[in-house]
Amino acid sequence: MKSLPCLLAFASLATGQWIAQPQPVDPRQFAIMAWGSSPSDPEQLRLMKEAGLNITGFCRVADLEKVRAAGLWCFVSDKRANGYDWEKLPPDAEIRRNAQELAREIGDNPAVLGFYLRDEPHASLMPGLGRVAAILAEVMPGKWPYVNLFPYRVSPERLGTPTYEAYVRMLVDVIKQPFISYDNYSLVGGEMLDYFYTNLEIIRKISLETGKPFWNCVLANAHFNYMEPSDATFNIQAYATLAYGGRGIQYFTYFTPHIGNYRLGAVDWFGNRTATWDMLRRINLQLHALAPTITRLRSLGVYHYPDVPDQCHYLAESRFVAGVEMTQRFVRPPVMGRFLVGEFEDPQGRPYILLVNKDLNNSFQFRIRTKPEGRKLFRVSPYSGREEPFGREMDWLAPGAGVL
């Protein structure tokens, strides 16, 4: 009988002792990115590294050496790569000259992951973006284009395609980006809206069919009527993305924008760390710890209970889990557990499950019934990254949290 490792988060009972911070993961394996302009200040770059980010965002050529010195990567934002009218491009020869000039300035700086081209493009812009991306790839092989897509709930008129799936496939087929990047902000009124999970379901399907990993750009500040950040909001966004097989988390935004009612980014309008910075670091260190295991796994399915969002799947379809009991203590009346389960296998065929608590307000004790009954559970520690026996008080999940 195969054993069933289970990814779990728990608090060490040993007081006064700390687990060494995990080794940073390479962004080409798992991206942890600040969405937005990269800073020029070396101290801010140092803090980004300390916060567990591995991609600073969109940087100037002049700041590349500072990014490299901080041990980070970025996508270069430069008019020679993205300063075009995407529907009325100049001749290829001019685009190629611009790319060659940019390549000479960049040299072989290892901090360059690729080039920022556009955020949330209409489908009519995709052919132009693809043409520039192809020339950049020809001049600088191995450097990635960066285009980020609209979320699922955007209308076909704004997308420029009849369906959202057709829109997403243009990123792969037309721009030939080696990863799928999209954003979805659905934290409202103390809950994660179902749009978030439906978007993950669609993106996961296309990712598996095309062989392209996906990065999810999630909410990391408060604005409009979105919720203010908490450990629970970071937990649910990161762990749900992992459960769906994601290979990157991007934060909108690390630096708080100076407009509207934007507030509580990791760094405020004056360059000071906020309470969100510590929340961001806590979830990022867990991502670094889990990434070596997660990146070896192949996604087999994702299942919800008891309510199933549009286009998603019931827990009854699971191949590894017969049921999950989620209970509370000292609560009147008790709250019913809501969760999702991501299922995986590693290259040796070992089964893995990732259980996520979808409730953003309540902790739950859980018990997993496996298929077949009686399989032995292990957990992958989200602090050390090591596989360990499952027992003691590991059977509790904080609001939004996940366990592998």
Confidence band for 334, pLDDT divided at 50, 70 and 90: confident
Give per-residue pLDDT as tens, 189-222.
999 999 999 999 999 999 999 999 999 999 999 9
Find out whether 404 and 363 touch, Cβ atoms under 8 Å: no
Of the chain, the percentage scoring pLDDT greater than 70 comes to: 96
Q: How far, CA to CA in Å, does 293 sit from each of 29, 175, 180?
A: 11, 30, 21
Length of the chain counted residue by residue: 404
4: nearest Cα among 367, 296, 322, 379: 379
**Closest CA relative to residue 62, chosen from 111, 128, 100:** 111
Of 14-28, 279-293, 295-309, give the lowest mean pLDDT range. 14-28
As a whole number of Å, the end-to-end CA separation of the chain is 19
φ/ψ (deg, to 5) at 23: -65, 135
Helix axes 195-210, 164-173, angle to 10 degrees: 40
pTM: 0.95
Tokens at residue 234, please? Answer: 């970071």
Q: What's the sign of the alpha-carbon dihedral 283, 189, 156, 340?
A: positive
Residue that wins the pLDDT comparison between 334 and 66:
66
Reported as a single tens digit per residue, the pLDDT across 114-170 is 999 999 999 999 999 999 999 999 999 999 999 999 999 999 999 999 999 999 999
pLDDT given for residue 10 in this prediction = 36
36 has pLDDT over 50: yes
E strand spans, 132-260: 144-148, 180-183, 187-188, 191-192, 214-219, 248-252
pLDDT given for residue 4 in this prediction: 55
Q: How confident is residue 329, by pLDDT bands cut at 50, 70 and 90? A: confident
pLDDT at 401 over 80: yes
Q: 379 phi and psi, to 5 degrees?
A: -125, 150
Q: What percent of the chain has pLDDT over 90?
A: 93
CA angle, corner 226, sides to 225 and 230, nearest 5?
A: 140
